[in-house]
Chains A and B, each alone.
Chain A
Amino acid sequence: MSERVAIVGVGAVVPRPQSRDASHREMIFDAATRAYADAEITHHEIDSFISVAEDIHEGTSITDEYVPDQLGAVLKPVQTIAGDGMQGVAVAFALIRSGIADLVVVEAHCKPSNILRHGDVLEMALDPVYERPLRVHPHYIAGLEMRRYLHDTGTTEDAVASVVNKNRRQALANPAAPYGGNVSTSDVLASPPVCEPLRSLEVSSYADGAVVLALASEERARRCPKPVWIRGIGWASDSPWLARREWSDAVYASLASGMAYQMAGIATPTEEIGFAEIDDTYAYKELQHLEAAGLAPRGRAGALTVAGETRREGRLPVNSSGGSLGMGYCFDASALYRIAEVTRQMRGEAGRAQIANPGSGLVISWRGVPTQTGGALVLGSH
């Protein structure tokens, strides 16, 4: 049994709005090849494989049966997690901590470009009897949440728009971020409402992608060149009902980060977390998640953002990679993109997006509308 678990390999394809030249299996093969080379391992050495995938995103039922080939997992233990990418990492962590495996691979991918109307997929996630017959695009759930969050915390719409400005600008320094751009807060506020108060530029654009992470026990990780250590991991789900939600707080993120902090022995996250990659599927979510993770007092994340404290050069850099607003929204693979970016930062491999002296990094993930499920991961360099 191993007490400590490390991320020893990261491989990802650059997210992009279309990927017509490659099947999702070819994209996963590419990401896996990169991850195994990064960890200096071969597919023969891997004990167990986890795929994060959802049948309805694939357009193929029992999609777990299609996993082995592109990971080099033929005739090996394989399982599929239909959940947030962080939940796949949690299963890998558990396999290693329990002594079942020493070297585990987690894969997540997405091809939104192959889904003709994603709204139909989201709608299928709503209660068929009570919620679906209203026939409103599920972005409305984010609109409802954003209004109550702004109302309860006094966060301004300017502050939400400044998240878009920051992340898309930061994405300009990340060659793996297709949505980098100079978008001012007034551009954001002038963009058309989608489900008001949510505006079109506050919604992350879809991207196709694939990420593979290799995790190892402490002993196995010592033989890999660049281990980054998991200090704590957590995940949580709130009750699903739309009408009975908390709305203004991301309770799942508070619980998930609390679980991860406890495992990591972190009492004061503002002092011990150096930087973060935080779910920003919708711009206000970055602020809500920062507060849920205890990195900003309630209602203060917006002001911190406007003051520039969450920029790459600021006191608490957030989404130096560009986040989902800058890199694209990759469904349940988004969590793995965030983890990959934190790992690169901690190894000093982030290039122009590099944060000076990053310290311990935090990831907060969210499974998207209509869910109240998310995860947290704290990574440290020793």
Chain B
Amino acid sequence: MLEYGWDAGVAISRFLDGLKAGKILGVRCNVCGRTVTPPRAFCELDFKPIDAWVELPDTGTINTYSICYITWDMKPLRKPQIPAVIEIDGTTPRAGFLHLIGGVKGSSVESIRKQLRVGMPVRAVWRKPDQREGAITDILHFEPVRGRRR
């Protein structure tokens, strides 16, 4: 059976260490001025090493989302998964972060649509510190921040 053990590299390793410590880290390029997360070692537009690491808040806004009633291997789901692109506060618009939305009541399209919208503020819900392993799943999901407007 084919098996791999990928080297995460400089940028993603530091990012994963940050998640274990309950922090979302990003990087900044001084040429285009963008701040992005997840971080990379170089700016793909300016083709140069990134200039600075920044600690970001664990809040953001929903760029786009989908309500999925199938698992990754096509099993039907009663309670849907909601993958979303989240623009973390402090990053450049459209430099998004892929994760899941949770903390939403009900399972029908109608009830979920009432609770979520593009542009809605969200906040990370973390695993307990002793359960984190330096993986993207150290954040369980993002949930809507109620009563906050942007």
Contact = CB atoms under 8 A, between A and B. Distances in A.
B2 A124 contact: yes
B5 A120 contact: no
A68 B10 contact: no
Given A26-B41, A69-B40, A69-B44, A59 B9 contact: no
A22 B7 contact: yes
Interface residues of B, number: 18
A121 B5 CA distance: 14
Contacts of B45: 74
Interface in A167-224: none
Interface in A2-38: 19-26, 29, 32-33, 36
Interface string B113-135: 00000000000000000000000
Interface string B1-40: 1111111111110000000000000000000000000001
A22 B2 CA distance: 22
B4 A59 contact: yes
Most interface-central of B4, B11, B47 (chain A CB within 10 A): B47
Contact of A23 (B2, B3, B5, B10): B10
A72 B44 contact: yes
A72 to B, nearest CB: 4
Contacts of B47: 32-33, 36, 42-43, 72
A248 interface: no
Interface stretch (A108-116, A149-157, A270-278, A291-299): A108-116
A111 B44 contact: no
A114 B7 contact: yes
Given A56-B2, A74-B45, A114-B4, A22 B9 contact: yes
B3 A25 contact: no
Contacts of B12: 23
Chain B at the A interface: SS class: loop
Chain A, interface size category, equals 20 to 34
A23 B16 CA distance: 14
A56 B3 CA distance: 10
B5 A114 contact: yes
Contacts of A117: 3
Chain A at the B interface: SS class: helix
B65 interface: no
Given A26-B41, A72-B47, A74-B44, A59 B11 contact: no
A70 interface: yes
A56 B2 CA distance: 8
A70 B43 CA distance: 9
Contacts of A68: 44
Contacts of B6: 23, 59, 111, 114
Contacts of A25: 9, 40-41
Contacts of B41: 23, 25-26, 29
A114 B9 CA distance: 12
A318 to B, nearest CB: 33
Contacts of B4: 59, 114-116
Most interface-central of B2, B8, B11 (chain A CB within 10 A): B2
Contacts of B42: 26, 29, 69-70
Interface of B: 1-12, 40-42, 44-45, 47
Given A26-B42, A113-B7, 16 more contacts: A22-B9, A22-B10, A23-B10, A24-B9, A25-B9, A26-B10, A29-B42, A69-B40, A69-B42, A70-B42, A72-B44, A72-B47, A115-B3, A117-B3, A120-B1, A120-B3
19 contacts: A20-B7, A21-B9, A22-B9, A23-B6, A23-B11, A24-B9, A32-B47, A43-B47, A68-B44, A69-B40, A69-B42, A70-B44, A72-B44, A74-B45, A114-B7, A115-B3, A116-B4, A121-B2, A124-B2
